[in-house]
Amino acid sequence: MKHLVLKVALLMASSAVFAAEVEFEMQGPPSLLSFNGPIETGDLNRLKGRYEQVEEKVHPDAPWASRTVLIVNSEGGSVNESLNIGRWIRENRITVMIAPDGRCFSACVYLLAAGVKRDPSLGEVGIHRPFFTKAPEGDITTFFRTTLNASRTFFEEMNIPPSLADDMYSTPPESMRILTETELRKYRLNQTDMAYREREDLADAEYYGMSRLEYLEAKGKADFAIELLCKDIPDNIEFLRCIEEINEGQGLVPASE
């Protein structure tokens, strides 16, 4: 399917978009990128440039694994550039997180949706309809219809319910809608992509020498116990030890051990 290319300055932002420099940082492993500011034309090339500067480290048994984390803090910007960045994120199996006390508003949601793993827990996610900064050359109705269809197509590619696009376009630009935990779950914006998760779970079951059903049962019990017993432990070492002990108690140890 050919992706629609829109040659208009259609923006999505919480208010007027102010020029601001987008900052990038990278280190590894895992590789970390931070994206701060409005999404503008050229940002994809800058992201690619930083990404390619760092030698990729791939687990030999999981060449498909996510090995880069993109930390975002953006109130939106160019729809076209966001769609292009999103497809690049998915192509490179990048995890997307919102920065502590950060925002992922408007067009930034395309970036979050593209992550093979999505973690908005430290910030806010907000949606609204895109708007023009000046009158376009052409029919506005056609432009909106085209971008709405492009958004639906994009979300389907990312295994996100296309109804997210309809809800975005049903929210006026002056009325930012902050998504609740229930809505984030509904749109799958706070979880691992389902296809990526399936591959990950199959690999983990093999790693632990379990059938898929055995692994799911053990993982479910371990996750419940970790949430109950470990989450409030302030010391990082003790926190990790708690997780390790619970996993071992559920038989989640490498099959080779």
Q: Look at residue 20 and tell me whether its pLDDT is greater than 60.
A: no
Q: What is the pLDDT of residues 45-85, one digit of tens each?
A: 988 888 877 655 444 455 566 778 899 999 999 999 999 99
Structure-token pair, residue 241: 């030890």
Find all residues with CB under 8 Å of 22, minimum gap 6, and list them. Answer: 35, 36, 37, 38, 39, 40, 43, 46
Q: What is the pLDDT of residues 152-206, one digit of tens each?
A: 999 999 999 999 999 999 999 888 999 999 999 999 999 999 999 998 889 889 8
Q: Specify the CATH class of 10-194 in words.
A: alpha beta
Location of each CATH 3.90.226.10 domain in the chain: 10-194
Per-residue pLDDT at 233 = 84
pTM of the model: 0.79
Residue 249 host element (H or E): helix 236-249
Mean pLDDT of 82-101: 94
